[in-house]
Structure 1
Amino acid sequence: MNKSIKIQRLKAFFGPLKPWLAGIALLLILRYTGMLAGISFLTQSALMKTGAMDFDPVQTERSAPAFDYNFTIKDLKGNLVDVNEFKGKVIFINLWATWCGPCRVEMPSIQRLYDAVDHDKIVFIMLSLDAEEHHKKVTRYIEDEQHTFPVYTPHKSLPRQLRVPSIPTTFIIDKEGRIKSKEVGAANYDTKEIREFLNNLTK
């Protein structure tokens, strides 16, 4: 087989693959330059404004397993908090990290929800899963974004229910200690529906 025939066959084989190879190369470049996270952030921020990502408590209220309160968390000043102290209250738990683009997308809506509810009846646990050595980064991020909701980090291990495979993940616990909602992925929590849902759980 002469050289020209080999070249033609190679072109015939790889020709249809060129768009795919170019796409894969582009994704790798975006991924390793950090640009992919930025694009994801912008895309999800735009979707948030359309209402497509509004949290719908009705869809996630079907089962209500018991919540495990037996763990301890730390606030950003290093004070230990026993989660058992929150028994009898509605709890909003959000697992997040500073490196998580979707987490950052939903943060402003969680802040607005926090501002709108009764903190004596509804407890917020914004649980950062950043590595312990990145504590200053977490503190700086919260300060820069001017978030006022309570932020914590795990102390030792978390219960199995909170060992989630992806973040952000949000749990809502009722006064009786039942998991009334679990939302995986970014969502808009600044809605009338979620405020009414939380307030109804306090009654």
Structure 2
Amino acid sequence: MNKKTKKSLIEYSVIGAIILTLFATGLHTEVIGFMQRGLLVTGIMNPDLEQKAESATAEVATINSNPKADFSMNLINSKGEKVSMEKFRGKVIFMNIWATWCPPCIAEMPGINKLYNDVNKEDVVFIMLSVDQNFQKAIDFNKNKGYDFEVYSVDGQMPQMYSSQSIPTTYVIDANEKIALTHLGMGDYDTKDFKEFLLDLK
């Protein structure tokens, strides 16, 4: 075996060991999410607010021209309290479906947390809806990251209209109880345009 081949084998072994370690410790999600955060900075993944009332595109979808939202969903928060979505009827709702094992979800979380801290909680309700099988993982993740929003899990069945093959998926419901926007995939919500969009839905 020549020196060049030996060096290549050592390099591949080190890379392989790093990758295995990341997967074994669960840190691969964080690392991939961090890299995907760079994509968010470009703005190419942002929700298309101009097409919110038009038909679906690859990244942004609006279902059936602003249908009425389904408020029959029951939730459980991080304290174990049961919360009916009915409680939020008449408010603007930012609902994000996510999981701790989903790198794009992790990538968009810092921006969502900034958005949460920048808007009036009387005007906009945040439902950060975890689909982790073990909800405690979502609770621990949120606490470890120091995010300020509450996390929820579905208590029972999720209404069909919120079922998505893509996570993260974000729904925005206006004060008239209609779906104003559905965004499939990650997005940067910490923008001036998006904040104005939310406030216009009151």
Asked if Structure 1 and Structure 2 have the same fold, meaning a TM-score greater than 0.5 normalized by the shorter chain, the answer is yes
- Find 2:44's aligned residue among 49, 52, 66: 52
Q: Which has the larger radius of gyration?
A: 1
How far apart are the structure 2 equivalents of 1:108 and 1:42? 10
Question: Alpha carbons of 1:172 and 1:100: their partners in 2 closer, same or farther (altered >3 Å)?
Answer: same
Compute the RMSD of aligned alpha carbons: 2.2
Tell me how far apart the structure 2 counterparts of residues 165 and 199 of structure 1 sit (CA, whole Å).
Answer: 28
What is the aligned counterpart of 2:128 among 114, 126, 129? 126
User: Which one of 89, 111, 116 corresponds to residue 113 of structure 2?
Assistant: 111
Aligned residue number for residue 174 of structure 1: 174
Size of the alignment, in residue pairs? 173
Distance 1:149 1:36, change over 3 A: closer
Q: Secondary structure of the residue that 2:75 maps to in structure 1?
A: strand
Q: Structure 1's 38 and 73: CA in aligned 2 closer, same or farther, altered over 3 A? A: closer
CA gap of 1:120–1:169, structure 2 versus 1, over 3 A, is: same
Partner of 2:185: 185
Q: Does 1:86 align with 2:92?
A: no
Alignment-mate amino acid for residue 113 of structure 2: Q
- What is the TM-score of this pair, normalised by structure 1? 0.78
Letter paired with 1:175: A
- The residue identity in structure 2 corresponding to 1:56 is D
Q: Does the CA contact (< 8 Å) of 2:29 and 2:101 recur in 1?
A: no
Alpha-carbon contact 2:95-2:172 (below 8 Å) kept: yes
Q: Which letter maps to 1:118?
A: N
**More helix by proportion, 1 or 2?**
1
Which contiguous aligned blocks of 4+ residues in structure 1 show a shift greater than 3 angstroms?
A: 33-40
TM-score, length basis structure 2: 0.79
Deviates more, 1:187-196 or 1:45-54: 45-54
Shift of 1:41: 2.4
Cα pair distance change 1:183/1:96, threshold 3 Å: same
Alignment check: 8 A CA contact 1:54 1:191 kept: no
Greater Cα offset, 52-61 or 94-103 = 52-61
Offset at residue 111 of structure 1 (A): 0.5
Distance 1:200 1:148 in 2: 24
Rounded Cα–Cα distance in structure 2 between residues aligned with 1:59 and 1:39: 32
Q: Which runs of 5+ in 2 are unaligned?
A: 1-18, 55-64
Contact kept in structure 2, 1:56 and 1:194, CA below 8 Å: no
Structure 1: unaligned runs, 5 residues or longer? 1-29
Q: In structure 1, what is the Cα distance between the partners aligned to 2:33 and 2:183?
A: 18
Distance 1:166 1:129 in 2: 12
Give the aligned partner of residue 99 of structure 1. 101
Amino acid at match of 1:90: V
| Sequence identity (%) | 37
User: 2:144 — aligned with what?
Assistant: 144
Distance in 2 between the 1:59 and 1:135 partners? 34
Equivalence for 2:197? 197
